[in-house]
Each structure stands twice: as C-alpha cells, then as structure tokens.
Amino acid sequence: MLNLDETIENIKHCKHVPESDVEELCTKVIELLIQEANIQHIDTPVTICGDIHGQLHDLITLFKTGGECPNTQYLFLGDFVDRGFYSLESFLLLMALKVRYPDRMTLIRGNHESRQITTVYGFYDECMRKYGTVNVWRYCCEVFDYLSLGAIVGGKGGVFCIHGGLSPEIDTVDQIRILDRKQEVPHEGGMCDLLWSDPEDVNGWAISPRGAGFLFGENEVNKFLHGNNISLIARAHQLVMEGYKEMFNSGLVTVWSAPNYCYRCGNVASVLAIDDELNRDYKVFEASTQDINAIPSKKPAIDYFI
C-alpha cells in the first residue's frame, strides 16, 4: 500500500518513486477525477496557480508562498509537465496531494497534458530516462484524459477558470459541461480552444499563431462574462514577465506560476488568492536556484516557446 505522506516527502526530495507506486497513485487519482465534472465548482477561499512546467523546486516555493496544502485550498490550471527538468516529480507531487487531500486540491487540464505534446517537449523523454520504459508516461497520460476542463470559483458572479481561453463554438459554461473530455486533446473544436486560445487586442476572433485555438478580444470576454454571470476569467497558458497580467478592464487575468521559465526567461511568477468576497490577492515569488544547480545531463527540447 502506498504511504502518501512518505511518498510526498520522497517526491519533494527527488527520490525515485517505484514504478508500481506511480501506477497505484495514477489509479487512485483517476478514481477521484472520474467523479468530477467537466467544470468543477470550488468554494472560496482558494489559491489559483498557472503553469508549472516541471519546475519542481519552484512548485515547492509556490506552496511556501501561498501556504501549504491542506491549510490552503489550491486550483492548478494545467501545464504541469514539459520543458522543466522535473515534470514527473511535479505531476507526482500534485497527484499525491490530490489523493491525500482530495477536497483541497483541484487539477484541470492544460494543452501540455497530451500524448502528442509530451512526446515533443520533454515529459516522454524524461520518463524514459528515469524508468527505461514507457509505462510511467502511459500511466500519467491516462490521468490526463480524466482531468476536468475548467472550474468556477465562488458560484454566481464568481471566477471562471480555464487553462487557455474561449472558443467561438462555446457561448455558455453549460456547453462545456456536456463535452466528452475523456480523450486525447483534439486538434480543433471547443475542447481544443479552451486549452489553446489566448486573449489579444483583436476584434472578434482571429487565427492563433500557435496553430491551435484562437485569439479573442475584449468583446468576446465581456459577452462571456455577462452571459454566464461571472466576474472574472482566470487563465494561464502564456508567459507573463510580472507573474500576472489583467486585461480588458480587469475582466480577465493571466496567472503564470513558473518563475525564470525554462531557466532562462528571468520572469517572476505568481499565484492568485481569491477570498470569500471574491477579492484578488496576487502573491509574487521568484525562482529557486535548486533546479539550475541540479540540471540533469539531457536537456529537454525548447523550441516552441509561447
């Protein structure tokens, strides 16, 4: 039987987790996720976190900044893996905390929680390097398919949380609720857009330079806020040098939680604490030096960068 508290400590210290323990952990997480809706409803107070991208020591700093789980309730907006050197440990830590404190940890899917993306941007190679087989990568990819697509914090008038952004195919949160999420991320359509789209100063919808999703402007944001009785869209997905960026009369915010992204961008990171009155408190933190000091021999690919 998995000793969760011991496993959590071992992961934090980058100790090898046996393959059988990874399989058991993934199975337990799926048992929880399968009961969760496409859009999870989360009570306040909660702390919202953006991309992690395998930066384990910065994830540990994040918990020191925002408060340790379970004392603080957390919502992570996806992109746990790829690019950083500790994608596996980062995802294992979040899964272990999810199993240990299921009501205090919510994980939703990012565009990198995908088989196709992780074979290109580092996670697959990392699993192969650390275990010598594809099994651990496969167990984690199975978990990806069960992750929720979004969340609403605080009920009516609250915060809509998503990894990427809006879709021209989706006008209401109810339309997201009926999507079939238990699949590899499609190349197009509503589910794809939610994980890939970006806000931009455009009129209407525009083609995204990412090759998936769309760019959407202030009118689309205001229409979605009004039509769904929400006050804020909180999303991640884009590097922000200051750790967070509010747009469109503060109707949308990008939260970025990977400081010194790819160990070279020099950005700070943040988490967003939402209180019972839906007030916003951005907590900014800087990069740990530990990841850099412990760089493994093989570096992940870092070409697609936005």
d(CA 270, CA 49): 7
- SS3 state at 234: strand
The answer to whether 146 touches 27, Cβ cutoff 8 Å, is no
Q: What tokens were used for 206?
A: 């525009």
What's the length of the chain?
306
d(CA 225, CA 277): 18
- The residue assigned the tokens 């769309």 is 214
DSSP lists the bridge partners of residue 273 as 47, 281
Active-site hit among 53, 112, 163, 237? 112
Number of C-beta neighbours around residue 241 at 10 A: 11
The answer to whether 113 touches 144, Cβ cutoff 8 Å, is yes
Q: Is 187 a catalytic residue?
A: no
d(CA 21, CA 4): 10
Sheet containing strand 198-199, edge to edge, reads 198-199, 214-216, 205-207
List residues with catalytic annotation: 112
